[in-house]
Structure 1
Amino acid sequence: MPYGVSLAGKMGHKLVTPVPSLFTFQIKNPLLKDLAGISFSEVTATLKMEGSAQDFIQKGPCLITHWGLSGPAILKLSAFAARELHASGYKATLIMNWTQSLKPHDALALLEVCKTHSPKKKLSNENPFPCVKRFWDAILRESGLNDDLTYGDVTKKQLQEIAQRMTQYELNVKGKGEFKDEFVTAGGVAREEIDFRTMESKIHPGLYFAGEATDVDGVTGGFNFQNAWTGAWLCGQDVAKKLGQ
């Protein structure tokens, strides 16, 4: 436990147990093999864990990495589900909608349009979804379809399987990303014991907390930096005011 948080506990402050937040997901799945570097402008990611009373859903950009998934949508999931993921040993089910927010029947309708209007075109050359060809080819491969198959020859059941994979692809999260890449910590001195006008302890006058010593953590976009800088500024202003009295 960090020194500042440990000291606060010894002085009688209530502590919220620190856990990692803002981290990538470690996933091993044949679909993702050799696709590191491929990004999506927006996905819908749903996280499910045994024993959790709720599912966690986030939308946003996503990136395939050498060890799994990253990007704002994944990092936000890790933040909002930080405690539940910690309790589960970072084991969870992640359901990815690679099409942003299409329902399976909507995705199927797009594929059926291709079948109707482009029956002689190969599936590998006619992609109705917002993803790069390498990913589309991987989806077709996972669906057991060869590169030469045309829309005219594909069955409705095969199209349904593609639509399902594009909108409700299930992945198993096996852990946090490699190299301890979490960015911030959730937890610290309980918020109700801090005067956020000055960041001074409500229990021990003259004792101040800021940054990750407090039970405050945000999502991506610099919010954690801003929390640390603003908290330190408030501390400094109050200390200077008291010294000048």
Structure 2
Amino acid sequence: LRELPGVSVPHARVVLAGEKLQYEGPLLVTHWGVSGPAVLKLSAWGARRLHELSYHGTALINWTPAHTDETLRPWAQQFRADNGKKQVAGHPQFGLPTRLWRTLVLEAGIGPETRWSEVPAKAQNRLLELLLRTPLQVQGKTTHKDEFVTCGGIPLAEVNFKTMESRRLPGLYFAGEVLDVDGITGGFNFQAAWTTGFLAGQAMAATTVGQLAK
């Protein structure tokens, strides 16, 4: 995928191999890997597990999430029978971008001019495997400059959410990312920061006014 930055797919599934973590959504190929809602959801909900794994593992991309092994293989046999004279690389399937489809076809060992009727069984099986499970290595995490939000922080059970005051140390207030609150991309983290900041500000102001009144 190194040669495909900017290519996007409206619906893909990303799975962390060996784990239960999997999410679907739009996916974008970048100059450093993959991004987009599907990847960001996996990163968000799997943050603690990824930390336990030292941010190393294998991500499997299903470019055709509507299909499984049981449905894709019969499709391939029927499509091959009906379109044997068509060049595989020149006719993208499943709405995939031409560049992505061609890359998967070539990676499967199918030549750029090869027709469907000429594809060896081994190469066809390899193509189906890549469509369902393209493997990408997870190798660490990016710098804080690229992150939307961080996971972890002050345990929520230790905070009074009406005032954002610490239950363990009265007079200490928390707001924003210092709390163990994080959500997927879409404005949720901004809203959490604004709301908790507002509540903490109101509570501190009220406390100050009360003290001055004395």
TM-score between both structures, scaled by the size of structure 1: 0.79
CA shift at 1:126, angstroms?
2.2
Q: Which residue of structure 1 lines up, in the alignment, with residue 128 of structure 2?
A: 163
CA shift at 1:93, angstroms?
1.0
Q: Superposition RMSD on alpha carbons, in Å?
A: 1.9
CA shift at 1:89, angstroms?
2.3
Q: Structure 1's 178 and 122: CA in aligned 2 closer, same or farther, altered over 3 A?
A: farther
CA contact (8 A) 1:111 1:128 kept: no
Q: Which has the higher contact order (CA 8 A, sep 6+)?
A: 1
CA contact (8 A) 1:108 1:159 kept: no
Q: Judge which range, 156-165 or 70-79, deviates more.
A: 156-165
CA shift at 1:179, angstroms?
7.5
Long gaps (5+) in structure 2: none
In the alignment, does 2:53 pair up with 1:88? yes
Tell me the matched-pair count: 210
TM-score between both structures, scaled by the size of structure 2: 0.89
CA shift at 1:128, angstroms?
2.2
Q: Judge which range, 33-42 or 104-113, deviates more.
A: 104-113
| Whole-Å separation in 2 of the counterparts to 1:42 and 1:197 | 40
CA contact (8 A) 1:62 1:69 kept: yes
Q: Which residue of structure 2 lines up, in the alignment, with residue 36 of structure 1?
A: 5
CA shift at 1:244, angstroms?
4.8
Q: Secondary structure at the match of 1:92?
A: strand
CA contact (8 A) 2:92 2:102 kept: no
In the alignment, does 2:144 pair up with 1:175? no
Among the aligned pairs, what percent are the same residue? Answer: 40
CA shift at 1:178, angstroms?
6.2
| Whole-Å separation in 1 of the counterparts to 2:203 and 2:144 | 39
Moved over 4 A (4+): none
Counterpart residue type for residue 103 of structure 2: A
Listed as ranges, the matches of 1:1-245 within 5 Å are 32-48=1-17, 54-177=19-142, 180-245=145-210
CA contact (8 A) 1:41 1:60 kept: yes
Long gaps (5+) in structure 1: 1-31
